[in-house]
Amino acid sequence: MTFKKPQTLQSIAEIIGAKMIGEADFPVLGTNEIHMVKNGEIVFVNHPKYYDKALNSDATIILIDKEVACPEGKALLISEDPFRDFNKINTHFTRIYNFTEELHDLEMGEGTFVHSSVVIGNEVKIGKNCHIFPNVVIGDRTVIGDNVIIQSGTVLGGDAFYYRKLNGNFDRLISVGNVVIENNVEIGNNCTIDRGVTDSTIIGEGSILDNLIQIGHDTIIGKRCLIASQTGIAGCCIIEDEVTVWGQVGMASGNRVGKGAVLLGKTGVNKDLEGGKTYFGQLAEEFREYLRKEVILKNLK
């Protein structure tokens, strides 16, 4: 999330009541998760296992639960509960409406048809010549390009599935990102596309999604991808351009699929996959290698 205007280390420390290590006027431009964080942004870390990763990331402000040596050119915010205070910062700068207030601030292009049963959140932008079918839900801050079709029952911009266990219960990391649907995209019936936690979940130009597809938070689908029914893609994945994903594929979080890859039905993806190849299997492997193993196993009988 990028703040509407730059903040300082001191102003952020005052919001969350944290100790700061660094100059009071050290610039703070926004917040982000570790996999997407950029220069000028805050990242949080609350486990020693991930201290080095956070301290050596592109983040220039680290919200951390222990005072440690501060890397040169960076600043620290020391908090007893970085998870809680990351939420506090995000919700301070991004108001959460959850359809409780009809403020709208809707922008809609020429030639767009939106059925009367569609529910639209606040600060939504919809481009030209779109067709939004009945019972679609469009969450706050969603951006939809031109010539987009969204069929019935689809939800854009639901909360990210991102929790920690605290005192025997689950505590949510609040989602302040959005969903971006680029031009010439078609989304089928009853799909669910979660908004980013601090950034955007993106469906690239010209991509086609079948019915009953789940796309997790902060995932980026490239251009001209084809995704079949009952596919589930977890958060923070990157699907490069012109990838084909057949039915019931499941993808674990944080993985990348290269340009032009084909994932055959029921493939399970738990690692990065190179582009230009066809994959199959419970743990994805090249289809030709899978077939070779099947032949070997049959010959052992």
Q: Which two tokens stand for residue 242?
A: 């012109």
Q: Is 217 a catalytic residue?
A: yes
**Which member of 104, 115, 131, 217 is catalytic?**
217
**Helix 82-93 crosses helix 9-16 at what angle (to 10 degrees)?**
110
Using alpha carbons, select from 52, 56, 60, 48 the residue that is nearest to residue 22: 60
| Pairing outcome for strands 41-45 and 238-239 | unpaired
Residue type at 119 in one-letter notation: V
Residues labelled catalytic: 217
